[in-house]
Every structure is written in structure tokens, then in C-alpha cells.
Structure 1
Amino acid sequence: MLLPALLSLLIVTVHSVDLPRLPLVPYPQHVSLLSSSSSSSSSSSALIDPLTFTFSTTSSSVLLKEVFDRYHKYLKLHDFVQKLNVTLPNLEVVIEDPDEELLLMTSENYTLTIQTNSAILQADTVFGAMRGLETFSQLVNTNNYSLPTLHIEDYPRYKFRGFMLDTSRHYLSVGVLKQLIRAASWSKLNVFHWHIVDDPSFPYCSVVYPDLCRKGAFSPHHVYSQSDVLEIILFSYKHGVIVLPELDTPGHTLSWGAALPGFLTHCPGHGNIGSDYGPIDPSNDAVYPVLKKLFTEITNVFPSEFVHLGGDEVHYGCWKSDQNLTNWMAVHNISGNYEELEDYYETRLLKIVNSLNKNYIVWEEIYTHHLDITPETIIHAWLPNWKKVFQNATSEGYRCILSACWYLNRISYGEDWQRFYKCDPRSFNVTAPYSQQQLVLGGTICMWGEYVDNTNVLHRTWPRASAPAERLWAPEYLTDVKFMEPRIEAHRCRMVRRGYPAEPTLSRGHCHVEYTWATHH
């Protein structure tokens, strides 16, 4: 992408110690002010009228026009006072490939140049333009509708920037999920890891096995119909977010049992959450056709190139207490080591998923228990010893993503976002730095569902999730909590202005526009 001729006169050199103080979250890779100083106070400005400002493009993309509509609404939320000195009437948006699919490796790169009388956003894809439009909207000073004149070259540090929601332990409505997805796009996250079912409930309404939903959900009202799921997928796509479904097996499957007799291991006194049943029974050959039909449906419904297979916290005590299973293991030459039994199950499951031409992600136990996995497997680390897991897994050529230090459900008093901000997925010991660190695809910010539902998940998630979101996008050197502090609070107030009930990040302060529940419902 060519820069305007004016930029050739620019003499600013930006380092981590003198970055422009701009209210951007996440902070871009490269920012150059169109001035002779790195201080934003000496930068020239462009002035807009949010009521008449337009986005222009020669692209025929229907999606891009929907994105324009969205950001027009954000601009018009400001308390506007008519001005006579407007200098910037529109933003020109240029897309190189408007038909690019939304995949993990899809380019989200963009450049943004704002001058006093003109502005241009250039991107490889519509999804890169989305990221650039978010940055543009964040630059608008809501007090006087000015924007600094600058040039930004931006792209994500990590391709995989996810957030996980658990909809089994407590149900989250479609409307609330949409609000969470919308907020995630404001922090440039691109994967919604939907932990859709678990032990407590099975809210996903399967077409091939409708009784899973009928008998496994909390009630007929706490479910996701096929139309609900498609609505979430389409909404996410329009915000540049991939929906990654997770069906966690062989553990965390208690809610499957009512619809599938004989599917789970029967182990009275040793079952999950006080029941008489534990993980899926690997010895039952009838299990695997069910899994094939169900995963075939999942891979057809969800367009993501990945599926998450879970594999964590398999309760070996239940398997061990089942004498019939022990006898079966002896006949099949599987020793008393229950990792071998798990390996038997996972090997058969991976063959099923491989036949469906889907890539897959697994929780780290699949790797640390030394199961026989393929080189394409992506390891998802969630336990405290994640650095050792990454060190070993990447040395063996496995790709990895991180969640261990980004569990938002573990709340604490005070500014706990700071500890999230200090964690970096590549801060582990390596013998081959470039090759090993490049195998770290990014990470996932997790909100598990034990103590959140529609009443509190919105404000508990954001803007705390914006701290790790910046770690996944922004330059590696950007680690200064003090530099982040005013920006995350500005981001929080921006979310409030847009109608989202984001909680405070500082112990005192206010937003120019305060959130009022009645105003937004």
C-alpha cells in the first residue's frame, strides 16, 4: 500500500517510551503522528460532523456496507453541537480482496491515514477494514469531534485471538451472546470459542439426536435451536468473529446420558457431580457411530475450519470402579493404566474427525497424558504449568494456544486486569526461538459459567477481557500497565456510550455518558 506524499516529510520516530497518547485498545503496531513531535498535543487535527460524515468505497461488498452502517451509528451516538469548521467529510475505504473468506489466516492488516482534509483506510480484506474502522472510531474525540492527523500500519501479533463462553453451567441468551460478541470485536478478537455443552446441561438442539437437547437441557426454554445457532454464526461473521464449537468428551458428558442409555460409564459413588455416571464408556462400540453422526452435524452446521474436542479432566476413578470395563480392558490388552484407555477412545474419535476434514483443538491433557495424536493437533493449555507444556509441545512441532492466565471467572478485588495484561503466550523457554515461538498461534480468554448468567456476564467480562485482547494484538514490547490504564478506562467509557454495561477499571472516576439500564432496554 502506497503512503500519501505528505508522509515522506514525516520525521517522527516512535519508540515504546514515547508512543502517542491515543485512546486506542488494542494499540496498533505502528503509529506516526503527522507532526514534528511524538506528543499528540502538537499534532494537527481533522474535524468531522458525525451526522453528515460518510464512508465511501468502490467495493460492492454487501458486508462492508453493513459495517459502515454499524460505525455510522457509533459516530451518531455523540452529543453533537453543529460546527462550521468541519474539515473532514468522509473516509475512503479501499479493499484489495472484498470476497476473502473468514478463516483463521485471513488477513486483518490495514493502514489508516488521516490528514486534515482527507482520510483513507486500506485493507486486504473486509475483515481488515473492520479492524481499521474500529480504530478510526476510537480516535474520534467526543468532546470536539476532532481526530489527530496520523498514519497507522496495523496487523495482529497473533492470528488466534479468542474468547470462550460456557453456556452449560448457566444458560446465556442469544441476545446476551450477541452483546458479548459485539464487544469482543471492539477489542479486535476474532474467535468465539463456544463451550456449548457440559455436565450440567446440553442446550444445543441437535438435528440427528434431538433428545440430547430435550432431555439434557435445563428446560425447553434454555436451549439453542438450529436457527439460534445460525443467527449467532451469521452475527459473528458480520463482526469478523469465527465461531469455534466445543463438544468436550469423554469427560464432562453427564448431560448426554438421559438421551443415550449405555453411553456413559456406570460407576455408583464415583460419578460426576454427585451422579452414578462418569465419562463416556470407551468399551461400548455403539458410542462411536453416535459420535460420528453428531460431529458430522457439528462440522456441517459450524463453518469454522476447527472444532474443539475437549479432552480435559477425564475421571479415571469412575472407569477404575467399573468391573465390566476392567474386564474389557484385559481382553483388549489395555493395561491398568487408564491413560491407555483414554488413548483408545481419543484415537477412535480423532479418526472420526479426520474423516470429516476438520482441524481440531484439544485441552492440554491430551498431550501431557502422552496420547497418540497427529502432528496437526493444536494444544490448548489451561493449567498453571503451561510454560513447560509449551516448551515441550512446540519443540515437538505442535501448535499451541494459551488460556491458563486468562480465566476471567477468577475474579478478585481491585484492578485484576493488570495480571491478565502481564501474561504473554511466548514467555517460555525455547531452544529454537523463532521456530518454537511461531507455533504459538495465540490464546483464548475464558469466562467459565459457574457464577455468571444473563444477570452479570456482560459487565464481569468487559472491559477486563480488553487487557489480554491487547496482549494478543499489540506489539510485544507494549507491556507498561501505566500506559494501558487510561486507555482501558477510555475503552470502558466508549463501550458504555455504545450501550454496553462495562464495569469500571479504576477505583474512582466517571464516564461522560453514564450507562442507564432503562435507556438501553
Structure 2
Amino acid sequence: MFALCLIYARFHERGRCGRIRMKQGELRRALLLITLLCAFLFFYLYWQQSNKYIPAAIYRFSHITTNYKKPIQPQWTWDCVNKRCERRYADDPLKATSLATCGMLCGSTQLWPQPTGPVTMASKALRFHHRQLAFESASLGASRSLIDEAFAVFNSNVIGLTEAPDYPIEGSDVSEFTVNIAVSNADVVKLKLKTDESYSLVLKASGKDGLRADITAKTFFGARGALETLSQLIWWDPYDRTLKVIKAATVRDKPAFPYRGLMVDTSRNFMSIDSLKRMLVGMAANKLNAFHWHISDSQSFPLIVPSLPLLAKTGSYAPDMTYSPDEVRDLVHFARVRGVRVILEVDTPAHVGNGWSWGPTEGLGELAVCVNERPWSLYCGEPPCGQLNPDNPHVYDVLQKLYGDLIELSGETELFHMGGDEVNLECWSQHLQRTSAAYNYTDLHELWGEFTVKALQRLTAANGGKRFPHVILWSSKLTKRPYVNKYLDKTRVVVQNWGGSQWTDTPELLSDGYKVIISHVDAWYLDCGFGRWRETGEAACDPYRPWQTAYQHRPWQLQRLDKRLILGGEACLWSEQFDEGSLDARLWPRAAAFAERVWSDPRLDAAAYGIQEDVYTRLNTQRNRLVKRGLSAEALWPEWCSQNPGMCL
């Protein structure tokens, strides 16, 4: 079209110069014809692009990887004996089998989390080159761009496995490795509790020497999980110096729980966006789907709230220790491509302080009381103290603005976390005595309950008058009888239960009809066990929770709870004693063990001693995958145990 238009322009110009002579009528007809032809081609191409059904689009991706290792001379070879890899000296290095290949083909699958549906695997592998990967999809709905980006992530993960800069494509066993994705409901672009995350994956030969992976799912989020599973059927063979993939496989899978969360606190110690993206990479690899971002606390307020900039200006540790709105939006999109929703939490009415002291200078009075009060042990659980002032009407105006910005930044329309834990009633009692408010209550839990009701009303107003379907609150005295039934609507409020697994909170809430998210401190608090960080008061939750504890914790079985009201579980990592330098090691592989519990919920054999060998070997394989993806995950055991499966158990 552009070429014809260019001819038109040149033709017109030359006619004016006199080099080409035509009769005036002929010239007009020629110019009109060319103009009509240009217009026709323009509208035709536009119509084709906008409306024509495209049966399949193929994309190819490649990038440079820096995960290089020098070739090694095989010292050991592994043989599959009784579904276990056994190590022996490699008499003939050319015939040696690497541990990576033996482990993938011998015994159980190396998938993590283990699928909930039937799985079949071939016992042979095929060599391929990452440049042979091709992508097909006929999906044209709103999630199409997410599907494209998710395949790009998958492709990057595959390339990240390679350890040779120039491994040859000539040694491949296939001519092309095609990944086809079919999503039946392609308009779903936001994850919700009822979103179907199930998928089917079929890996098989195609044509003469091709390989094809067919992924079918109801939604993008199921398809993304299938891509993760497919990536786990691929590995790098250090002996053959090539990528390998299971020759054939079928997997049907869906999660046991809709909410599979990970909470990270970025207020006690600041975590950069890059470190949080690494965490999201780990979450995606383990099919966790909710990042609960505890973004502020009494120590600092690092979030730049567009309508309330003074919160970060007066509450952040430093100007470079803040999160801008654009950074938050970018992180939310980064997470969504990886199947994760981001839930922003600004805890109130307690756990506020630094960042809330600007009220008097702005003519709003005291927004918070007990801020940095001493002795701190009288007014809060850990220093510094601070709680919102429930007697100041301007507090609720500020909350409405804050809630509105949190909704816009996260894009969440279903779940909202209001915090709500560890309110110190002595703080309110001491600092409200100069007003009549404190004397209007014989029980200050009533004041707490009324504050929560007002805050919920402001949340609805901030959401354009629409009630959030689910508002999450930490478990507290307010979520116990008799207050819970008086102030908290069971059709709307979800309680995140952080107490001990033997406490009665969870069964009582379930019996009263409340939905719960379980975060039992004695199993799924990953910050515990590192000693105290101050001299006074309880400054540590001991002991350390190893991955085995996270994996074996199955409270619905232990307490015979009704799973219908359990939305899922969440592992928590509070940041008093770590920063981004040790974030990876605190999380992984323990959070991966938790992830299999809430995805597959594998049965625990009470008659068997400890955890089965299969879990150790699969988790070790998954830990190595995380390392390949750039995460500094902790080792499970000595390398000797990896090279001699079963010998350490």
C-alpha cells in the first residue's frame, strides 16, 4: 500500500514538472484510481488485522544466557536400579549417564508440587535445542497478551537451564518442539477465588520427527500452571551438553485450595523491587498464587500513596527506600503474568506510627496516638508503638483516600486486607482520657469493633460504593466470641488465623460460619528460630520451622476441620531479622514445601516414619531449579546425599 502511494506521489510530481505529459482528464482519472486503490488497501488490511480469525500464531524467542559451565569429564555414572539411581565409577565416560538424566527417568516424577490428577511419563528422553521451541495459540480473548508473555517467561526459563554458549543444534532428536495453548475462557485476566486453575498437558511425538506439547485449560491461569509443569519436564544434561525433555507425558492437575499465599513484610526492613520480583519468580515456580504484601508498619511507611504523599515523606527510612506507584503497578503486572495476585496491606488501627504524625500540621489533629511512646512494652508488642486515633473523624477520611489508592494500585476487586491485629487497649485508654470517648465504653473492644465497622464503610465508599466480596482481617481478640459475631459480617469477612495450631480459634471460626486462611505460627511462620533481636520482652518465636514442619502441617486433618470454609493457607515472613540479602534463603525451599501442601495436599501416612524419600528427592530437584532461575535457595543436605539417593534417609 505504501509503495503504491509513493508511486502516486512521484507520478503526480513528475506530471507537474512536465517530464510526463498527459491530458488533463486522463491525469485526473489516473490520480483518482490510485487514491481509491490506496484507500481500499488501507481499509482491507485494517479489517484483516481487527476482525479476521487467526487460527494459530507462532512466536519464537531467544536470548543470551550467562549460566555457563565448563565441560566436565564424567567421573560417575548413575544406573536406575529398583526405581532409584545408584552411583558407580564411570569406566567408559562416553557411555556415562548423568545424575540429572537418571533422576528424571528413574522412579517417581520430579514434578513440584506434585499434580493432583493422573500422571504418565515415558522412561526415555529426547535431545532438543532451545531455538527449536515454537509457540501456537488460537486464543484471541483479553488474556492473549498474558499468554504470550507467559510463554516468553517459559522460554526464558528453558534457556536459563543451558550451560554451554554454543551447544550444537545438529545433535537434536527433533526438528521442532511446538507448544500449543488452548484456553476456553480467554476473557479471564484477573485471578479470583473461583477461577479455574485446572489444566491438561499432553506431550507427544508430532509428524515425522517433531515434538508437541498440547496444553488445554479453562483460563490463562491454568495454562500458566501447565507451562510451569512443562518446564519441569525439561533439564540440562551436563554430560551430553544439551537440553533434554521427557519423550512423552500426560498430566491432569488442579489445586486443592484456591488461596495459596505468601506474606512478606517490607516495613521493618526495606526490600527492593528486584528482590520482590525474585520472590515472585519462586512463587510462580511453586504455583503459589497470592502475594500478601505487608507494606507498612509502625517502623516505616515506604509506599508513596498518590493522594497522601506525606505518609511516605514522613514515614520512609530514606527517599530511595520507597515504592512509587509505577513500581507497584509494574510489580502487579509482573506477578499476574506469573499467575500471582498482589494483595496490599496497610495494617490498621494498630501497627501504625512513623508516617502518621503529620496530622496537626495539616489541620487534621492527631491521626495516631502512642507514636514512639516509652516504655514501649505498655503500649505495643514491639517498638516502636503507634495506633490510629479512633476518636478523630479525620482518620476515616484519610483511610478512605488510602483505600482508594490501594485498590487502584493493586487492581484487586475481590480481596482486600485491612490488617486489624494486636490492638493495644491500654494505648487507647491512656491517650483518650482527655476526651469523652474512653469513658463511653466499659469494654474498649467495643471501640475497636466500631472503628472496624467505620473502616469497612469507608472501604466501600473508596470502591465506588461497591462492597468488597472478601475483606481479610488478622485473627485477634476482635475475631473471638462474642465480638466477632457482633461486628464482623461472616458473609464478607475472612479471618487470617495466625495463632497456634492447637488454639481453638480456627475450629470456632469455622463452626460460626466464617471463612478462614490458615497461617499457624508454629508451622508456617518462616521468620522464627533466629534468636532474639532485643534484650527486653519476647523478641523471638522459637524454634526454627524446617521445611519438614511446613510440609507435614495438615491442620484440617489433625483437627478434622470442614475444608469447605478454608480458602487455603499462607506462609508468613516478618522482617525484623533479615533484609533482601537473605530473603531468598529464608523463603526457599521451605516455602516450596508449604506450596505442595496447599496445592496437592498429599496424604500423610501415620503408620510411616517421617517423610517419604520421594519428597526429599523431588524437593531437592525443585531447589536446584530455583537456583537456576537466580534464587539463592538454601541447600537441603550435603551434595553426597543428592549423588546417592536414599542413602541419607
Distance 1:205 1:386 in 2: 40
Q: Is the CA contact 2:524–2:570 (under 8 Å) kept in the aligned structure 1?
A: yes
- Relative to structure 1, is the Cα distance of residues 195 and 509 closer, same or farther in structure 2, using a 3 angstrom cutoff? farther
**Alignment RMSD (CA, Å):** 2.5
Distance 1:130 1:403 in 2: 26
Distance 1:197 1:220 in 2: 15
Aligned residue for 1:120, secondary structure, equals strand
Instruction: Name the stretch that deviates more: 114-123 or 496-505.
Output: 114-123
Amino acid at match of 1:384: G
Distance 1:387 1:88 in 2: 56
Matches within 5 A, 1:39-438: 43-60=123-140, 61-77=144-160, 78-79=162-163, 80=167, 82=169, 83-86=171-174, 89-104=177-192, 105-117=194-206, 118-143=212-237, 145-261=244-360, 262-266=366-370, 269=375, 270-272=378-380, 273=382, 278-304=386-412, 305-322=414-431, 324=433, 327-330=436-439, 332=440, 334-335=441-442, 337-355=443-461, 356=463, 357-358=467-468, 359-365=470-476, 366-368=478-480, 370-371=483-484, 372-375=487-490, 376-385=492-501, 388-404=504-520, 405-411=523-529, 416-430=546-560, 436-438=562-564
Shift in Å, 1:323: 5.5
**Residues 3-42 of structure 1 deviation map (CA, whole Å, 9 limit, x = unaligned):** xxxxxxxxxxxxxxxx9611111110123326xxxxx6xx
Percent of counterpart pairs with the same letter? 28
Distance 2:312 2:489 in 1: 32
Amino acid at match of 2:291: F
**Residues 163-186 of structure 1 deviation map (CA, whole Å, 9 limit, x = unaligned):** 111010000011111111111111
Q: Is the CA contact 1:48–1:146 (under 8 Å) kept in the aligned structure 2?
A: yes
Q: Is the CA contact 2:528–2:545 (under 8 Å) kept in the aligned structure 1?
A: no
Shift in Å, 1:90: 1.6
Q: Is the CA contact 1:31–1:150 (under 8 Å) kept in the aligned structure 2?
A: no
- Relative to structure 1, is the Cα distance of residues 455 and 393 closer, same or farther in structure 2, using a 3 angstrom cutoff? same
Q: Is the CA contact 1:44–1:116 (under 8 Å) kept in the aligned structure 2?
A: no
Shift in Å, 1:477: 2.0
- Relative to structure 1, is the Cα distance of residues 309 and 20 closer, same or farther in structure 2, using a 3 angstrom cutoff? farther
Which structure's CA Rg is the greater one?
A: 2
Distance 1:243 1:205 in 2: 17
**Residues 379-419 of structure 1 deviation map (CA, whole Å, 9 limit, x = unaligned):** 10101146622211111111100111211112479981000
User: Given the alignment of the two structures, is residue 31 of structure 1 paired with residue 118 of structure 2, yes or no?
Assistant: yes
Q: Is the CA contact 2:127–2:172 (under 8 Å) kept in the aligned structure 1?
A: no
Q: Is the CA contact 2:525–2:545 (under 8 Å) kept in the aligned structure 1?
A: no
Shift in Å, 1:325: 5.8
Please, which runs of 5 or more residues in structure 1 have no aligned partner? Answer: 1-18, 35-39, 513-521
Distance 1:200 1:156 in 2: 37
Amino acid at match of 2:473: V
Distance 2:196 2:110 in 1: 24
Distance 2:529 2:374 in 1: 35
* Aligned match of 2:582: 456
Aligned residue for 2:348, secondary structure, equals coil
- Relative to structure 1, is the Cα distance of residues 141 and 219 closer, same or farther in structure 2, using a 3 angstrom cutoff? closer
Amino acid at match of 1:110: Y
Distance 1:351 1:149 in 2: 55
Distance 2:264 2:276 in 1: 9
Q: Is the CA contact 1:252–1:279 (under 8 Å) kept in the aligned structure 2?
A: yes
Instruction: Name the stretch that deviates more: 178-187 or 468-477.
Output: 468-477
Distance 2:107 2:177 in 1: 25
Please, which runs of 5 or more residues in structure 2 have no aligned partner? Answer: 1-105, 207-211, 238-242, 361-365, 531-542, 606-610, 644-649
Shift in Å, 1:115: 2.2
Q: RCO greater where, 1 or 2, for CA within 8 Å and sep 6 or more?
A: 1
Distance 1:156 1:315 in 2: 39
Aligned residue for 1:62, secondary structure, equals helix
**Residues 327-367 of structure 1 deviation map (CA, whole Å, 9 limit, x = unaligned):** 4232x3x21x2212211211211222234322310001131
Residue correspondences, number: 479
Q: Is the CA contact 1:246–1:308 (under 8 Å) kept in the aligned structure 2?
A: yes
Amino acid at match of 1:409: D
Amino acid at match of 2:179: L
Instruction: Name the stretch that deviates more: 485-494 or 45-54.
Output: 45-54
